Amino acid sequence: MKLSLESITKTYGAHRALKGLDLKLESSRCLTLIGPSGGGKSTTLRLIAGLEKASGGSIQVNNKPVPQTEEELRRYRKSIGVVFQSYNLFPHFDALTNIALPLEKVHGVSREESRDRAQSLLSQFKLATHGRKKPSELSGGQNQRVAIARSLAHNPDLILFDEPTSALDPEMSAQILDVIEELIQSGKDCVIVTHQMGFAKRASDYAAFISRGKVEESGKSLELFDNPQCPELAQFLERELKY
């Protein structure tokens, strides 16, 4: 994965969420975005995903600019998989349909193949016997695994995770982090917003500390976590790793 964000700004009315954010990766399998709440991590992720447009600056993913027109954005989003902290599953559909329906309606895959892919992914994520259950009948960890399966169904070029474990208890969080780590090891490119510092250090090869709407420090994960140069990052890691 190659990624370039240059002088990115994002405003919501009078609020400036991003203030000239810069980040450049020449080659990375997994990038983690860490930092305090409200610092701009999720906003950055949504801009990379093409779910929102930057107010200023430029973004390139694998040497291609993120499009600006809605028609081009729709095509671009089809190459991206996104997993949200709140799952974003259709509550009135079962697990299999939650995976298969976007394949059929958005990506133009036949109904039969969509359901075959969905069943295969449910088996891969140890949910083969839960395909007919609706989200309300599944645990939080199971729902998040369904959401991850859905994000993989169309074989995206890049998968983005926005705090995928924040709504889960520690045991379920560990299960989801294991699933994500297996995806990374299998060769999937990922960008992950997370507060799980141990996971971020172990699973990612590059990390960026985002605070007050800017990248305050970035670098190879092991170096950044073991030897932070920015005092604010050092204080942040000390707090996060204390408990």
Q: Is 55 exposed, middle or buried (0-12, 13-18, 19+ CB in 10 A)?
A: middle
CATH superfamily of 1-79+158-243: P-loop containing nucleotide triphosphate hydrolases (3.40.50.300)
Q: What is the pTM of this model?
A: 0.94
- Intervals of the chain under pLDDT 50: none
Distance, in Å, from the CA atom of 191 to the CA atom of 158, rounded to the nearest integer, reads 8
For 115-205, where are the E strands, in sequence order? 158-162, 190-193
The enclosing H or E element of 145 equals: helix 140-152
**pLDDT of the residue at 240:** 87
Structure tokens at 67: 């499009």
Parse the chain into domains and list their residue ranges.
1-79+158-243, 90-156
**pLDDT of the residue at 243:** 62
